[in-house]
Structure 1
Amino acid sequence: MPRICITDLNGHSTSSRPIGVFAWMMQLEDKKLRLIHLLLISAAIYLIYTDIMEANTSSKLQKIHLIFRYGNLISKILWIVTLRSKRWQYTELVDLFENQTRCILGNERVYRHSTKVRRIFVPLCIMFVVQTIFISVFYRPIMILYGTNDYFHFGKSLTFGLLRAVFICIYPLYTQLIIECCLHIHACWLTVDKQICLLKNIDRRALTIDKIREVRSMYSIAAVITEKMDSFLRFPIAIFFGFYIMANFIFFVQFWTELSLNKLIRFVWRCTVLALVISNMIYIHYLSHKSFDGVYALSYGKHPLQVNNEIHLFLDRIGQSNVGFSFLKISLITPTFVTSLASATLTFVLSLPSLIEESI
């Protein structure tokens, strides 16, 4: 018998579906997707080539930064290419909760939560893209035109600047995909939490085994989807923590040694995005763990023996789960994980004075 969930259908039924360029790419046909992959790979190769030609590698810090930068670029290229073979897996994963529970992920709570996160991230993306386009696309051609009036070199510089900007803009779009996938998992767990709240509001005489089993099944489906999404994002999350965080602190050293408004804006953007992504990953574990409190509250009531047994089975199911996104399936991304990461970061920060002295 199909499940029917009570949801708020106020035009917000699509608020849980991931949006963005990468989510759009997943829906393309093979030929169009192959063309976009070719463009991205060409832009990445040109970006690496221009960086190598223009970079000043006189200091160890600059060399380390370039190693991280190129490693980040190459890893992103490899993952973007693999999206072609994984796009069907992604499409099925996004629709899995609604297909199996017959519950639309469009209630008012999901809409408010998704909108709040997107209102923070979208302006950050726009700020980064505008700055990137100005610096990588228009600044150098304008200087050429202003200094020499050479329209040929102006057009050449503008064309290659556009190609360079294409891949630089991948950074916020790549991060957006991780955040959007987090929001989709949030929507699943917020819906489970809402169904648990509905169970708590049911009169104890009307609470039946079937109703508890239905929500317990929904919990299990949300846990499976979280695990599958974690597997799908295993490589992007590893890249994010492996390159993005370390590159942030290397960039901080560069900013500290050579203060400028451009670097200040980029540093604030990086730190804000870092905090936003990590907090959304942690929130997945929080929502899954929060279900225990709601189900445990049901056990306070005076229920028939069979209903009590079903409640305890539900509690055992939650207690056996350790749900959330992970770092290479090694450690869940929880507040404890972030604390350990902060400790490792502090160790790195303590070495900054020596790095600064070498870079001067």
Structure 2
Amino acid sequence: MSQVHPELQSDNIHQPSGLFAKALRTNNKTKWLFLLLNFAVTVLHTMQAFNMHERFASLWHIYYATSYLAICVYLIFKRKTYNEFISYFEREIRAYNDSIRKYIAKNRTLITIGYPFILTLYIIYGAYDSIVIYQQSQSFYRLIIRVIWNIFKTIIYLNHYIIIQFITECCLHTQVYFKIVEDQVKSLKMSNSSLEFEEMQQIRQLYDVAIGKTRKLDSLLSWVLPVYYFTCIGSFQWNLIFIIYEYKPIHLMLMVRELFALILLTFHIANINQLANEAFNQVYSLSYKVESVEMQNEMRFFFTRIRRGDVGLTILKIVLITPAFVTSFGTLLLTIALAIPTIFKKNLT
């Protein structure tokens, strides 16, 4: 089996790194209130900016802000389910080697990159917006007010990524269960000794535990994912329409933001199913070391379970999010996006 480096056992790699995850883990009510206040301020800001001449756009902005507030409130109420999910992860990851920890660290770094990326988008737009205001007014006072306002908007809208980071990190933790299975199988393949029944059964049990934890996460995010995908894809398409119909830099920035978050989150969700199915090839390579009938039956049970291919997160427990589904759905969205210019040309002529 894989060996643990003693110097690594005391680190905190197994603990959630996101602000929202830490708030749920520690029951820190101050952080809850701070996050809820920020989301509430976003909702109030969109309501205050309501414009009857652009009522559909205004209503969409209100819905967009409210959806994130609702997700935040829902997850706070479901914190017990989340804590049960993470507690098991902490117990398991302490017992495994450096490769698992490197996998967590690498993916966690990729997730965290989202903050500077989105912040850079807001800074670029804020600088552009402030310059335009100054050129129009030639007033340093209005320039300073605009800069302060853009900083304020950057802070409150950056909170949306906190939710994205939380969901993505949950998916990462689920992936690690299947990486542990892979790690155990590789250790058995490298071993010169014959394959023992207890070792194979232990791996199969670990795979079943990984499935159970995936379903627990699916239950936690049962309506969070549908709300998020509807909001994110709707925002992407809405801003694309504005770019075509009435181009403004803000719409391009928002579209890039949504596309980045959509790709990041969907990749981590689909990767759960991918890793679960990849276990088949890993386990199949062990079949050459099987000698007894008892072991052959154990391997057959394992193959049968993996071949079902039903492990992963779902949308409303109806559609399983797999790489194949993502490819098909992405093609559909691209088709719709390419059709939008033609639709608008027909409407304008």
Question: Normalising to structure 2: TM-score of the pair?
Answer: 0.83
* Aligned positions of 1:212-227 closer than 5 A: 212-227=200-215
Q: Which residue of 2 aligns with 1:113?
A: 103
From 320, 336, 342, the equivalent of 1:348 is 336
Tell whether the 8 Å contact from 1:237 to 1:327 is kept in structure 2 after alignment.
Answer: yes
RMSD: 3.5
Q: Which residue of 2 aligns with 1:239?
A: 227
Greater RCO (Cα-Cα under 8 Å, separation 6 or more): 1
Q: Which residue of 1 aligns with 2:275?
A: 287
2:223 alignment partner, SS class: helix
1:325 aligns with 2:313: yes
1:47 aligns with 2:37: no
Count residues in correspondence: 346
State the AA in 1 paired with 2:197: I
From 62, 84, 90, the equivalent of 2:76 is 84
* Aligned positions of 1:13-92 closer than 5 A: 14-29=12-27, 31-33=29-31, 35-53=33-51, 57=54, 63=56, 65-92=57-84
In the alignment, the residues of structure 2 paired with residue 136 and residue 34 of structure 1 have an alpha-carbon distance, to the nearest angstrom, of: 28
From 153, 157, 164, the equivalent of 1:168 is 157
From 241, 263, 285, the equivalent of 1:297 is 285
State the AA in 2 paired with 1:40: N
Percent identity, please: 22
Runs of 5+ in structure 2 lacking a partner?
none
State the AA in 1 paired with 2:327: T
Runs of 5+ in structure 1 lacking a partner?
none
- Name the stretch that deviates more: 241-250 or 65-74: 65-74
2:317 alignment partner, SS class: coil
State the AA in 2 paired with 1:52: F
1:252 aligns with 2:250: no
After superposition, the C-alpha distances for 1:31-62 in whole angstroms (9 at most, x for unaligned) are 42553255134312322223315x851xxxx8
Question: Normalising to structure 1: TM-score of the pair?
Answer: 0.81
Cα 1:129–1:47 shift into 2, 3 Å: farther
In the alignment, the residues of structure 2 paired with residue 160 and residue 42 of structure 1 have an alpha-carbon distance, to the nearest angstrom, of: 17
Tell whether the 8 Å contact from 2:39 to 2:65 is kept in structure 1 after alignment.
Answer: no
- Return the offset for 1:98: 4.3
* Aligned positions of 1:266-285 closer than 5 A: 266-285=254-273
State the AA in 2 paired with 1:202: S
From 303, 327, 339, the equivalent of 1:339 is 327
- Return the offset for 1:97: 3.6
- Return the offset for 1:67: 4.0
In the alignment, the residues of structure 1 paired with residue 2 and residue 33 of structure 2 have an alpha-carbon distance, to the nearest angstrom, of: 42
Tell whether the 8 Å contact from 1:197 to 1:294 is kept in structure 2 after alignment.
Answer: yes
- Return the offset for 1:84: 2.4
In the alignment, the residues of structure 2 paired with residue 204 and residue 247 of structure 1 have an alpha-carbon distance, to the nearest angstrom, of: 57
In the alignment, the residues of structure 2 paired with residue 231 and residue 110 of structure 1 have an alpha-carbon distance, to the nearest angstrom, of: 25
- Return the offset for 1:285: 0.5
1:211 aligns with 2:195: no
After superposition, the C-alpha distances for 1:72-125 in whole angstroms (9 at most, x for unaligned) are 2212111211232222221221121443xx552763333433343344443332
Tell whether the 8 Å contact from 1:109 to 1:190 is kept in structure 2 after alignment.
Answer: no
2:112 alignment partner, SS class: helix
Tell whether the 8 Å contact from 1:15 to 1:106 is kept in structure 2 after alignment.
Answer: no
- Return the offset for 1:69: 3.1
Q: Which residue of 2 aligns with 1:11?
A: 8
State the AA in 2 paired with 1:6: Q
- Return the offset for 1:258: 4.2
Cα 1:201–1:133 shift into 2, 3 Å: same
In the alignment, the residues of structure 1 paired with residue 21 and residue 183 of structure 2 have an alpha-carbon distance, to the nearest angstrom, of: 27
- Name the stretch that deviates more: 269-278 or 128-137: 128-137
